[in-house]
Amino acid sequence: MKLKLPEGEFQAYLFDCDGTIADSMPLHYIAWKTVLSEWSCEFPEDLFYAWGGMPVVEIISSLNTRHGLSMPVADIQRRKEEMFYANLPALKAVPEVLEHIHAKHGEIPFAVVSGSTRNSVHASLRTLNLLDRFDTFVCAGDYTRSKPHPEPFLLAAERLGIAPESCLYSKIRRWESIQRQQRGWRLCGFRRRGSGSNASSVRLWKWRIQWRLLCLRQKVSLC
């Protein structure tokens, strides 16, 4: 399926990495399940996808709170990342997004905005031979408030030197709503269904960032 972008003049494309550029969410989930099993910590698949984009340290802290555990955050993060890296030879790109990246590279600047660590993002894109396609990376540790707060997106736009309202953000999620309005962001997308017992519906979200409606100029909290 070919990407169909929203109408409008865009001067930069911002991409999530996991599940958008890289079909990496299943590999991340395997890594999580393997590491967390040693603590008998449940992490249902629907919750894993609902927390997509949340930095790893926040996920571990949230699981500790949710289950009354005391898992060591730094150690769990390190081991989960190592498990993910071990599975990288099986990583594939999302075909529609890969085609779009190849078609538009050099015409418009690209950025990655991710809740994963920079090492994880670089490892995934290096595996896919796409690391050099992006002009900047905004990853966990670069911001204090994670997505969907606008801080990571504003930082990417600033690094690219592009007005935030001229950026388009693309993300694949397993969410149900195909189009909705929320907090000044225009959301639209399509649904692609796979085949086989493990197939799932995925959504490609293309978020036209309506920054002037957000908190930074009107001092409205999005938290």
Q: Where along the chain do its domains lie?
A: 12-24+92-218, 26-88
Residue 185: pLDDT above 50?
no
pLDDT at 146: 83
| Full-model pTM | 0.76
Pairing state between β 201-209 and 167-173 = antiparallel
Query: What percent of the chain has a predicted confidence (pLDDT) above 90?
Result: 54
pLDDT at 218: 35
CATH class held by domain 26-88: mainly alpha
Query: Per-residue DSSP letters for 189-203?
Result: EEEEE--STT--EEE
Nearest residue to 138 via CA among 11, 57, 12, 17: 17
pLDDT tens digits, 112-148? 999 999 999 999 999 999 999 999 999 999 999 887 7
Mean pLDDT computed over 31-39: 96
pLDDT at 197: 31
pLDDT at 181: 31
pLDDT at 72: 97
CATH 3.40.50.1820 fits 12-24+92-218, yes or no: no
CA distances to 58, 92, 138 from 144, rounded to whole Å, are: 12, 30, 12
pLDDT at 1: 62
pLDDT at 195: 31
The number of beta carbons lying within 10 Å of the beta carbon of residue 179 is 9
pLDDT tens digits, 40-95? 999 999 999 888 888 899 999 999 999 999 999 999 999 999 999 999 999 999 88
Residue 191: pLDDT above 70?
no
pLDDT at 205: 35
pLDDT at 8: 75
